[in-house]
Amino acid sequence: MKFLTDMHIHTISSGHAYSTVDEIARFAGEKGLKIVAITDHNSGLPGGAHDYHFNNLRAIPRNLYGVTVLRGMEANIIDFDGNIDATEDTMHGLDFAIASMHPPCLNFGEKNEVTRAMIGAMENPYVTILGHPGDNRYPFDHEAVVLAAKRTGTILEVNNASLKPGGFRPGVRENLVILLDFCKRYSVRVMANTDAHIAYAVGEFAESIKLFEEVNFPKELILNLHPEQILDFITLKN
């Protein structure tokens, strides 16, 4: 499988990442990607970017090194109702947002609480991707989340960084096997992303591809293989 998109990437503006937009786009072009997205952490996570950063993302050219560059954010889910730490005004100017759970922003919860938080975030019209589900510390109802993704048109992420051996999110592989089984059952499209925090990791999907092959996941449901379908989910802003 040759993946053509990577839509969860952090720059130096995230505070704990190490590459610039130019470096990321250059590496993406060299690896044959068609679409990348800059999705720095919002300020709710220590070291994350200020609203001014996101409000000025229009300064980034739409095309660099032959790669289309999307302008996004990784927002933090901050309560079990699924609220996120980003204002409507800021998100309105972005192409899309990822909503994720991070321990500094949301305490670990019970299965029913986490499920409610995930579904609440997916019901936010500005949230396009649910970031790195599968952490055992945030247990959830897999079938309910997949059905909510289908209903809301939200993309469920297969996070390559979380799948790497030695990753700090326990249980991700096992949870994603279950999640992908329900995605197959209900024909829900998913997307692998690297969650790269340095340019060298952009477009490196070995763990995700291995997982897709192990569970015999249908290629038509993997959005990385169909970049032309990305705009079914995302309306590009000026």
Full pLDDT tens readout for the chain, 238 residues: 899 999 999 999 999 999 999 999 999 999 999 999 999 999 999 999 999 999 999 999 999 999 999 999 999 999 999 999 999 999 999 999 999 999 999 999 999 999 999 999 999 999 999 999 999 999 999 999 999 999 999 999 999 999 999 888 989 999 999 999 999 999 999 999 999 999 999 999 999 999 999 999 999 999 999 999 998 888 888 7
Q: Which residues pair with 5 in a beta bridge?
A: 35
**Could you give the CA distance from residue 219 to residue 217 in angstroms, rounded to a whole number?**
6
Predicted confidence at residue 232, as pLDDT, reads: 84
**Could you give the CA distance from residue 62 to residue 60 in angstroms, rounded to a whole number?**
6
**Could you give the CA distance from residue 151 to residue 210 in angstroms, rounded to a whole number?**
28
Instruction: Give pTM, 2 decimals.
Output: 0.97
Amino acid at 105: C
Find all residues with CB under 8 Å of 16, minimum gap 6, and list them.
10, 47, 197
- Other residues' Cβ atoms within 10 Å of the Cβ of residue 168: 10
Compute the CA torsion angle 138, 161, 3, 220 (nearest 10 deg).
Answer: -20
Amino acid at 192: A
